[in-house]
Chain A
Amino acid sequence: GQSLEQPSEVTAVEGAIVQINCTYQTSGFYGLSWYQQHDGGAPTFLSYNALDGLEETGRFSSFLSRSDSYGYLLLQELQMKDSASYFCAAPSGNTPLVFGKGTRLSVIA
C-alpha cells in the first residue's frame, strides 16, 4: 500500500522549536515533500528532500532518512503565523503525490 503517517496535532510555544515527523510506505520512492496550509487557504510548498540529510530554508529545515522511511520538518523560532497544518507528501506508483493526513500545529504565546 501507500501511506504517510504523521501526528495529527502538535502544540508549541512561540519562539521555540518544533519537529513534525513523517513515516512513509510508498511504492517506489522519489523524495519527500512538505506543504503548509493555513486554515481556509491553499497548500503551499515548503521543501523537498530527494537524498538523505538535512535541507535548510530559513527557519524551516527538512530531514530525510531513506533507510528508515522517515523524515521530519523542523520549525525554529516559532511565530504565531506558523500556526497551520503541515503535510508530508511523496509520489507512489502512478500517483504523482500522496499526502499524509496532516499535522495541525498550534503556536501559543
Chain B
Amino acid sequence: GAGVSQSPSNKVTEKGKDVELRCDPISGHTALYWYRQSLGQGLEFLIYFQGNSAPDKSGLPSDRFSAERTGGSVSTLTIQRTQQEDSAVYLCASSKSRGHTDTQYFGPGTRLTVL
C-alpha cells in the first residue's frame, strides 16, 4: 500500500514568509507525528496527533509554528514569519495508534531552506 507522503519535497523561501508543509499519512493510521532534522543531527520531536487532537504542543519551537489535522488524515505544519534557523528537513510519520509499541512509518520529508 501507499506510504506516508509529504509535499513539497523541497521548499525555498525568503525570511519572513509563511510556509505550509503537508503530510498524508498511511490510510487507517490514527497517530501522526512531526519532527525536524537539521543537517547531520537527530530528530527533534515537534508535535503529534491522535485523531485530530494534539494533546501536547510543547515541542513546537516557538509560537510561529502551528499544526492541524483534519478528518483524521492529512496534516499541515505552518511556519509563520520564517527565520533562517528554521531551515531543516521536516519529517512526518504515522502509526496505527499512539501506543508505545506501534512502529512509526516516516515520509520522505520536506527540505526547507530559508534565505
Q: Which residues of A contact B (CB under 8 A)?
A: 30-31, 33, 41-45, 48, 50, 87, 89, 91, 94-102
Contacts and interface: CB of A to CB of B under 8 A. Distances in A.
Interface on chain B toward A: helix, strand, loop, or mixed SS? loop
Contacts of B105: 45
Contacts of B91: 42-43
A94 B100 CA distance: 11
B33 A43 contact: no
Contact of B101 (A50, A99, A100, A102): A50
A66 to B, nearest CB: 14
Interface string B79-112: 0000000000001010000101101111111000
B31 interface: yes
Contacts, number: 54
25 contacts: A30-B101, A33-B103, A41-B108, A42-B91, A42-B106, A43-B106, A45-B105, A48-B101, A48-B103, A87-B42, A94-B55, A94-B58, A95-B56, A96-B48, A96-B98, A96-B104, A97-B45, A97-B104, A98-B45, A99-B35, A99-B43, A99-B45, A100-B42, A101-B42, A102-B42
B107 to A, nearest CB: 6
Interface residues of B, number: 25
A99 B55 CA distance: 20
A96 B103 CA distance: 11
Contacts of A99: 35, 42-43, 45
Given A87-B43, A96-B45, A30 B109 contact: no
A87 B45 CA distance: 14
Contacts of A41: 108
Contacts of A42: 4, 91, 106-109
Contacts of B48: 96
Contacts of B104: 45, 96-97
